[in-house]
Amino acid sequence: MNTEPVGVVTMTIDGKPVKARAGAFLLEAARAAGIHIPTLCHHEALEPYGGCRLCVVDVTEEGWDGWCKMVIACQFPVKDGLIVFTNSERVLETRRVVLDLLLARCPDTPLIQGLAARYGITETSYQRNPEPTDCILCALCTRVCDHIGVSAIATVNRGIGREVAPPFGEAPPDCIGCLACAEICPTHCIPYTTSDSSRTIWGKTFQMLRCPACGRAHITVEQARHFAGHGGVSESYFTLCDACKRTQMAATFQRLQALPTASAGGGR
Amino acid sequence: MRIESFAAFEGYVEDARARFAARQSEVLVCCGTGCLANGAAAVAEAFAAALEGAPAQVKTFTKRTGCHGFCERGPLVVLRPAGVLYTKVKPRDVAEIVDKTIQGGTVIPRLLYKEPVSGQRIQHYQEVPFYKHQTRVAMRRIGLIDPTDIDDAIAHGAYRGLVKALTMTPEAVLAEVAASGLRGRGGAGFPTARKWRSCRSAKGERKFILCNGDEGDPGAFKDRSIMEGDPHSVLEGMIIGGWAVGAHEGIIYVRDEYPLAVVNLTLAIAQARDRGLLGSNILGTGFDFDIRISRGGGAFVCGESSALMRSLEGKVGEPRAKYVHATDRGLYDLPTVLNNVETWADVGAILEHGGAWFAAMGTEKSKGTKAFSLVGKVKNTGLIELPMGTTLRQIIYDIGGGVIGDRPFKAVQTGGPSGGCVPEALLDLPVDYEKLTEAGSMMGSGGMIVMDDRTCMVDVARYFLKFLTEESCGKCVPCREGLHQMLVIFDDLVAGRGKGGDIERIERLSRGMQLGSLCELGKSAPNPVLSTLRYFREEYVAHVERRECPAGICRDLTTYEIMPQTCDGCHACFKACPVAAITGKVKELHVIHQDKCISCGACYDACPTQAIRFLPKHEMAARGVA
CATH code, domain with B431:
3.10.20.600
Beta-carbon neighbour count of residue A90 at 10 Å? 16
| Burial (Cβ within 10 Å: 0-12, 13-18, ≥19) of residue A150 | buried
- Distance in angstroms between the alpha carbons of the first and the last residue of chain B: 78
Considering only the beta carbons, identify the residue of B316, B323, B511 that sits closest to A75: B323
Q: Please tell me if residue B307 touches chain A, with a CB cutoff of 8 Å.
A: no
Considering only the beta carbons, identify the residue of A97, A105, A158 that sits closest to B516: A97
Is the pLDDT at A266 greater than 80? The verdict is no
User: Do the bridges between strand A154-156 and strand A163-165 make them parallel or antiparallel, or are there none, so unpaired?
Assistant: antiparallel
Tell me the pLDDT tens digit for each residue of B569-580: 999 999 999 999
Q: What is the mean pLDDT of chain B?
A: 94
Tell me the pLDDT tens digit for each residue of B331-382: 999 999 999 999 999 999 999 999 999 999 999 999 999 999 999 999 999 9
Using pLDDT thresholds of 50, 70 and 90, give the confidence band for residue B58.
low
Rounded mean pLDDT of A141-153? 96
**Are B347 and B483 part of one and the same domain?**
no
CB B199 within 8 Å of CB B243? no
Using pLDDT thresholds of 50, 70 and 90, give the confidence band for residue B21.
confident
CATH code, domain with B484:
1.20.1440.230
Q: Please tell me if residue B508 touches chain A, with a CB cutoff of 8 Å.
A: yes
Which residues 6+ apart lie within 8 Å of B447 measured at CB?
Answer: B217, B218, B219, B220, B372, B373, B375, B413, B414, B415, B416, B419
Q: What is the pLDDT of residue B55?
A: 67
Q: Which residues of A176-209 are buried (b: 16+ CB within 10 A; e: fewer)?
A: bbbbbbbebbbbebbeeebeeeebebbebebebb
Residues of A in contact with B505 (CB under 8 A): 125-126
The range of the structural domain enclosing residue B444 comes to: 369-452
Instruction: Judge whether B612 lies within some domain.
Output: yes
CB A140 within 8 Å of CB B502? no
CB B125 within 8 Å of CB B28? no
Residue of A nearest to B202 (CA): A2
| Torsion angle in degrees (nearest 10) through CA of A255, A257, A263, A265 | 90
Amino acid identity for residue B369 in this structure? T
**Are B580 and B531 part of one and the same domain?**
no
Using pLDDT thresholds of 50, 70 and 90, give the confidence band for residue A1.
very low
Amino acid identity for residue B142 in this structure? I
Residues of B in contact with A50 (CB under 8 A): 320-321, 475-476, 518
Share in percent of chain A as helix, strand, coil (round to 5)? 35, 20, 50
Instruction: Judge whether B133 lies within some domain.
Output: no
Calculate what percentage of chain A has a pLDDT beyond 90: 82
CB A143 within 8 Å of CB A49? yes
**Are B355 and B304 part of one and the same domain?**
yes
Q: What is the pLDDT of residue B486?
A: 98
Rounded distance between C-alpha atoms, residue B223 and residue B228, angstroms: 8
Instruction: Judge whether B13 lies within some domain.
Output: no
Which residues 6+ apart lie within 8 Å of A113 measured at CB?
Answer: A103, A107
Q: What is the pLDDT of residue B626?
A: 46
Q: What is the pLDDT of residue B104?
A: 87
Contact A159 B480 (CB under 8 A): yes
Tell me the pLDDT tens digit for each residue of B275-311: 999 999 999 999 999 999 999 988 999 999 999 999 9
Among B98, B128, B158, the domain boundary falls at B128
Residue of A nearest to B482 (CA): A101
Q: What is the pLDDT of residue A237?
A: 87
**Are B353 and B376 part of one and the same domain?**
no
What interface predicted TM-score (ipTM) does this complex get? 0.91
CB B487 within 8 Å of CB B465? yes
Tell me the pLDDT tens digit for each residue of A71-90: 999 999 999 999 999 999 99
**Are B491 and B433 part of one and the same domain?**
no
Contact A126 B488 (CB under 8 A): yes
**Are B182 and B316 part of one and the same domain?**
yes
Rounded mean pLDDT of B238-260? 97
Tell me the pLDDT tens digit for each residue of B89-103: 999 999 999 999 988
**Are B568 and B619 part of one and the same domain?**
yes
A·B CB contacts under 8 A: 114
Residues of B in contact with A5 (CB under 8 A): none
Tell me the pLDDT tens digit for each residue of B128-153: 989 999 999 999 999 999 999 999 99
**Are B448 and B462 part of one and the same domain?**
no
Rounded distance between C-alpha atoms, residue B348 and residue B162, angstroms: 6
Considering only the beta carbons, identify the residue of A75, A126, A157 that sits closest to B321: A75
Contact A76 B321 (CB under 8 A): yes
**Are B576 and B489 part of one and the same domain?**
no
Is the pLDDT at B596 greater than 50? The verdict is yes
Instruction: Judge whether B139 lies within some domain.
Output: no
Residues of A in contact with B484 (CB under 8 A): 159-160
Contact A160 B483 (CB under 8 A): yes
Instruction: Judge whether B255 lies within some domain.
Output: yes
**Are B216 and B114 part of one and the same domain?**
no
CA Rg, chain B, in Å?
Answer: 27
- Note if the bond before B81 is cis, omega within 30 degrees: yes
Using pLDDT thresholds of 50, 70 and 90, give the confidence band for residue B219.
confident
Instruction: Judge whether B345 lies within some domain.
Output: yes
Q: Hey, which residues does A210 pair with through a beta bridge?
A: A217
**Are B584 and B487 part of one and the same domain?**
no
Contact A2 B204 (CB under 8 A): yes
Among A97, A109, A133, A162, the residue to mutate for chain B (most B Cβ within 10 A): A97
Among B452, B478, B508, the domain boundary falls at B452
Considering only the beta carbons, identify the residue of A71, A94, A105 that sits closest to B512: A94
Tell me the pLDDT tens digit for each residue of A205-262: 999 999 988 988 889 999 999 999 888 888 888 888 989 999 999 999 999 988 876 5
CATH code, domain with B606:
3.30.70.20
Domains of chain A: 8-87 (3.10.20.740), 140-253 (no CATH)
A97: left (phi over 0), alpha (psi -120 to 50) or beta: alpha
Is the pLDDT at B1 greater than 90? The verdict is no
Instruction: Judge whether B263 lies within some domain.
Output: yes
Rounded distance between C-alpha atoms, residue B17 and residue A171, angstroms: 65
Q: Please tell me if residue B515 touches chain A, with a CB cutoff of 8 Å.
A: yes
DSSP B501: T
CATH code, domain with B39:
3.40.30.10
Among B519, B546, B573, the domain boundary falls at B546
Interface of A with B (CB under 8 A): 1-3, 48, 50-54, 56, 70-72, 75-77, 90, 93-94, 96-98, 101-102, 104-105, 125-127, 136-137, 139, 154-155, 157-162
**Are B352 and B422 part of one and the same domain?**
no
Residue B572 has phi, psi (to 5 degrees) of -65, -40
Q: What is the pLDDT of residue A268?
A: 45
Nearest CA to CA, how far is B316 from chain A (Å)?
10
Is the pLDDT at B234 greater than 80? The verdict is yes
Tell me the pLDDT tens digit for each residue of B478-493: 999 999 999 999 999 9
Q: What is the pLDDT of residue B200?
A: 97
Instruction: Judge whether B134 lies within some domain.
Output: no
Is the pLDDT at A263 greater than 60? The verdict is no
Is the pLDDT at B57 greater than 70? The verdict is no
Report the domain count for chain B: 5
Rounded distance between C-alpha atoms, residue B379 and residue B160, angstroms: 37
